[in-house]
């Protein structure tokens, strides 16, 4: 018998093992770096401390978790499905229950306070799920999430920094990372105040490796760029999350230098790793990244009026 419960924090690494297993048959949209980055950073950074435990769910068989419905934990209407095996994803009855939970618990509320929207990421291998959501009111979006990779070969990348700039040789304070991230992506309150707390928690994650946290310091030892690499010995490739360069040091080669330095360190520590992921902005393509796979996204929308709204009487709420 398959039962349901809301996600609990002690489920985290059980789900992470599902993710690691999925690299054997997929280029997962919900990969290792996304899993650890979102859980560590978003609660403080996005002020969403209860999103995981109060809006995400897992399904169990004989007391063991077999699947999960999760999101990035920001109430943005995104949803991802995880399974204990690829074969489990073919259980149509389980999929229907997971879809219903996603629709009813992970939707985003649009600005009109009426429209509900869910974006479900469906990997290409999962044709059973794709066919099912199309019968349940979903539509395929034009958007697809692209997984960009750069090959890591035996020959190390040449890494260049402008004169006077250097990589950190000892761990830097967490606020160096949050400051750089803030200056790179341009945000203030409320996110800025909790940035260092969030990055401190990122450093507590199981797969955080201090040697794969590359920070560039300027001639006065102030941080201007950084990137973090994520990898497990069972993964065929590594992942980059995040990469940040402060706005006043753009177009000087710091992003490229951080990426190439990370690739060299990863290859030295994990010789089997063949590539590393990155973003899909033009910068990445310009320095050697290429699209390895794309994950389609399917959208579900529904108007939910207040119970006292006259329009609500004419709506047939299917769930």
Instruction: Express each pLDDT in 122-154 by its tens digit.
Output: 999 999 999 999 999 999 999 999 999 999 999
At residue 228, the pLDDT reads 98
At residue 74, the pLDDT reads 96
Instruction: Express each pLDDT in 22-78 by its tens digit.
Output: 999 999 999 999 999 999 999 998 999 999 999 999 999 999 999 999 999 999 999
Q: How confident is the model at residue 314 (pLDDT cuts 50, 70, 90)?
A: confident
User: 34 and 137: one domain?
Assistant: yes
Question: Hey, what are 105's tokens?
Answer: 């618990």
Tell me the average pLDDT of the chain. Answer: 96
Task: Confirm whether 247 is domain-assigned.
Answer: yes
Task: Confirm whether 162 is domain-assigned.
Answer: yes
User: 306 and 258: one domain?
Assistant: no
Instruction: Express each pLDDT in 173-188 by its tens digit.
Output: 999 999 999 999 999 8
pLDDT above 70: residue 303: yes
- CATH value at residue 13: 3.40.630.30
User: 121 and 164: one domain?
Assistant: no
At residue 317, the pLDDT reads 74
pLDDT above 70: residue 191: yes
- Helix ranges restricted to H, the chain: 12-22, 32-45, 51-55, 92-105, 127-135, 174-185, 195-202, 254-269, 282-286
Angle, vertex CA 214, rays to CA 213 and CA 217, nearest 5: 130
At residue 218, the pLDDT reads 98
Task: Confirm whether 279 is domain-assigned.
Answer: no
User: 83 and 193: one domain?
Assistant: no
Task: Confirm whether 284 is domain-assigned.
Answer: no
Task: Confirm whether 309 is domain-assigned.
Answer: yes
How many separate domains does the chain show?
A: 2
At residue 319, the pLDDT reads 60
Which residue range is the domain that position 263 belongs to?
153-273
- Is omega for the bond preceding 242 within 30 degrees of 0, making it cis? yes
Q: How confident is the model at residue 234 (pLDDT cuts 50, 70, 90)?
A: very high
Instruction: Express each pLDDT in 84-108 by its tens digit.
Output: 999 999 999 999 999 999 999 999 9
Task: Confirm whether 286 is domain-assigned.
Answer: no
**If you ran DSSP here, which 8-state letter would residue 238 be given?**
B
Question: Hey, what are 201's tokens?
Answer: 């928690």
Task: Confirm whether 278 is domain-assigned.
Answer: no
């Amino acid at each position: 018998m398959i039962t349901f419960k809301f996600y609990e924090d002690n489920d985290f690494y059980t789900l992470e093992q599902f993710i690691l297993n999925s690299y054997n048959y997929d280029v997962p949209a919900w990969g290792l770096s996304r899993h650890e980055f979102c859980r560590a950073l978003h609660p403080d950074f996005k002020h969403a401390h209860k999103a995981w435990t109060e809006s995400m769910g897992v399904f169990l068989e004989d007391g063991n978790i077999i699947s999960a419905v999760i999101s990035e934990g920001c109430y943005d209407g995104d949803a991802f499905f995880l399974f204990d095996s690829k074969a489990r994803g073919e259980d149509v009855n389980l999929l229907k229950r997971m879809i219903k939970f996603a629709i009813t618990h992970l939707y985003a509320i649009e600005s009109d306070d009426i429209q509900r929207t869910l974006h479900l990421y469906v990997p290409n291998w999962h044709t059973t799920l794709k066919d099912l959501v199309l019968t349940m009111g979903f539509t395929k979006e034009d958007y697809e999430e692209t997984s960009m990779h750069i090959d890591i070969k035996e020959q190390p990348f040449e890494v260049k920094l402008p004169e006077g700039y250097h990589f950190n040789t000892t761990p830097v304070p967490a606020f160096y990372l949050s400051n750089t991230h803030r200056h790179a992506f341009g945000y203030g309150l409320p996110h800025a105040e909790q940035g260092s707390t969030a990055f401190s928690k990122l450093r507590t994650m199981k797969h955080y490796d201090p040697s794969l946290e590359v920070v560039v310091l300027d001639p006065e030892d102030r941080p201007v760029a950084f990137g973090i690499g994520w990898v497990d010995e069972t993964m065929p490739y590594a992942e980059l999350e995040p990469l940040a360069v402060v706005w006043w040091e753009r177009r000087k080669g710091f992003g490229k230098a951080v990426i190439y330095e990370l690739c060299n360190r990863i290859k030295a520590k994990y010789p089997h790793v063949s590539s590393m992921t990155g973003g899909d902005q033009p910068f990445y393509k310009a320095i050697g990244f290429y699209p390895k796979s794309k994950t389609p996204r399917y959208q579900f929308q529904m108007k939910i009026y207040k119970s006292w709204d006259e329009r609500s009487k004419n709506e047939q709420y299917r769930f």
